[in-house]
Each structure stands twice: as C-alpha cells, then as structure tokens.
Structure 1
C-alpha cells in the first residue's frame, strides 16, 4: 500500500479577514506527480505553503508522514520537503553556485564548510538545470529564466523526497519547461520522488501529472486521475470556459482546445 505523505484535515486559513482556504481535506501519496489547478486567487499557493510548513492552518491540521507538520523541526523538515516558488527575489550579489549551495544548508553542520558530497550534489543539480556555465555569475545579473532555473537547482540539491513547485516553470521558455518537468517525472518513476505542482498551463499538467487537484474559491473541487478529470465539464465548472478535449497520441494524454470570443460555435 502506497504511503501517505500529506494528510490535510479540515484546514482553514485566512490573511487578516480574507479567508483563503475553507475546510480543505485531502491526502497525497508518495511517489506520485500531482498537479494543482484553479483560477487566480483560489488558494493554490497558500495550500502549497501549508504543505511546506511555511504557514499553519488557523483551524484544522496538516499531518506529514503521520505526524503533525507544525511540530516537526524546520531543519528536519528541510531534509524532506523542498519548494520552488514562483517569485524568487534576491538583491544581494550571490554567485549562482552560492544560491544552489543554500539547498545543502540542512546537511551542513554549524560553522562547518560544505563537504565533497555537498559540492557534488550542487554540480549535479546545476548540470540538470543547464546553469553550470553560469555558476560564477552573480544571480542579480542573470535573466529571470536563468534565475528561476537557479532556484530549481537549489531545490534539487536539497535532495528531498517531496518536491513542491509553485508555477515553477512560469518564467521559462517551453524547451526548459519541458526539460525540467521531464526530469522530475523521471525521478518520480525511478526514485519515488513525490511532486506536487501548481500549474497555470492545463495542457502541460495533463501531460506530466498522474493526478489533478482542481480548486475554486478556497475549496477543493475534485482530486483524481488525470485521465478522469481532464474533461470539458470540469474546465467549465472550474474556469467558466468552453473547450474541446482531444486525445493526443504523442503524449498519451488529453489536450484542451479553448473556444475564444471569435471562435465558431461547437
């Protein structure tokens, strides 16, 4: 039986008086690639932050590997969960390699220098993300896409079993987006990595995700296998858009074609 990594129980969260999540209850199993989708402002990023342990529900509970996530020490959690956020801002002129090395922080003893293994993990992560040639450049002097790949490399160097992605490919061109998603999908299959990713691109999510999680106005609409949820009715319910779902043999997945204002009626 597949082990549950996250167990969310009746989670409520609000920023001041603005309620963002309303009674979310769901479980996520290890070794799966999940895609979280929904309109802007529906609580996707907040849900991911709860699962990372950055924030905690005002009511309800998030359990991780059978224990209360809130009570897990941060350094221990950092060896288990990594997060690639959609907006990484840094104004200090660190080298790219220094930012990637930050992913090894949980493994480096206080007042100690990085080990050979730490440098090896960082080199591997930079190679995978295609930024090794940038390792000596300042992170403040590279492009937004290169900076996003640097953050992705930092998460890979962190060497965790759970990888959370918050629109992690939104600043990347399509080639780099597909390469990185291919990479983590391979890690899901071969190493049992768990990926929980927020997507804006529905078709990209349909290609890579084992399961989809649809959200709307702070609630969970439906979670299930991608092939079951990638439907015209679901997209209309969640996004209020009309579409046609067509099976694409190349991807072995459904792909949506969207109706625009000028499109002929279907």
Structure 2
C-alpha cells in the first residue's frame, strides 16, 4: 500500500518535477499531488512517458560509454529519485571499483538515495549531497569532501533530464561553465534536455501546453533550442553522433525515437 505520510521538510503544496518523473517511470516516491500533476502533463504531452523512459535509457548508455572509455567516476547533478538503472548500479556492473556522487535539491530524492546507498552502496565509493546544482562551489567542495571522487582523474559529469527545469535566471549557464573549468582533462560531460527544435507543429503545440502545465509545479519547465543546449558543452568536443534525439545516441534495438528529448556526450580535451 502506498503511504501518503509527509516526511519532514517536504513541500506538498505544489507538485515537484523529481517526484513526477518518478511517477512517470512507475516509481512510488510520489504523492497524490504529483500524480495529479503527472496526469495533467500527460494529457498535454501524450509522449511524456516515452520521453521519460528514453531519457533514462540514454543515461544508461552514456554511463556505459564513459566506463568503456576509461572514465569510471561520476558526478550526477540533479540525479532525481533513484529508480531503475541508477548510475552507480550501471557503473558497478562494468567496473566494481567505479565511484559516484549524486547531487539533488529535492529532499525526497536525497532521502531515497541515502536509503538506497545504505542498503546496497559502498560508502567509500558512493555518496549523495543535498545541494542546488547552480551552487557550484558548494557542490564541488562537498563532492570531494566525501572522499569518493579523485580530483586527479577524469570525471563523468551528468545533467540528464534536469536542465530543462532550471531557468536562465538561476545563473545555470555560469554554473555549468564553472563545472567545465573545474573538471580534469579527459572528463566527459553528459547532457539530455527537452527541446521543441525540429519537431512537428502539433508536437511543438503540445510542448507549449506542457510548459504551461509545469507552471503549477515548484519546478516550471524550460524549453531550449538545440543550439542553446549545445552551448552548455562550451568548448568540449562532442563525441559521435553529436547532440541528437536521445534514442539515436548509440541506440539499442528497442530504443524509441523521441524527437523532443536530445542528448549528447562531450570530452574535455585540455
């Protein structure tokens, strides 16, 4: 039975993106207000579940790419509520010595991540931080204070399905630029983002409706163009096939093609 108990510090006056994302993936770390919001969002944009799952599948492939290319420690910014295919789980399958620090601003996401890591994680290799990704100084300091990450080795930094909840007014572009500057050479940066670029007019209209619905939540959505998303990579070199619909990035046979979610991986070469 689902519990509707409200943990301390959890705002249930408005729905929240992390909890609604959990709902869209079939999770249980959400409340009635989040599910009602999710249904409204699904009505506005019927491909919402497909886009959510395609994003999650992209995350898994990107993590595997990082491991296969020698990057075995991860900083997952805006990691969300743990669900299927978490970063540390995917990484551990390929490299049992891999490391991961999760970062999220949502208390439910942080609480669930801590429970998961207490049950199956390794405190020497896995940690979670409660912080705003836009506060890069706090995040960077606390990430290394955990002792999990090695500052002298490349890092796989991820902002998967999170930047479209972070408006420009937060200074997100400056924060991401600061992270890029701080990352060691050889690091890989993974992004996925919702976009209305290069989609049919009907879909563009649905995304506009979705954006309007999102204003009811504590984390209103932001639609950015392909070029605006690409700008987050700065001077990092995009690996093939570049910034593309997430289902087309190193696809598995069963990955759906969702044009509204784009993703890519870029390397810091110097």
Give the TM-score normalised by structure 1.
Answer: 0.30
Instruction: Flag the structure with more relative contact order, 1 or 2, with Cα contacts below 8 A and sequence separation at least 6.
Output: 1
Bigger radius of gyration: 1
Higher strand share: 1
Q: Which structure is higher in helix share?
A: 2
Q: TM-score, normalised by structure 2?
A: 0.29
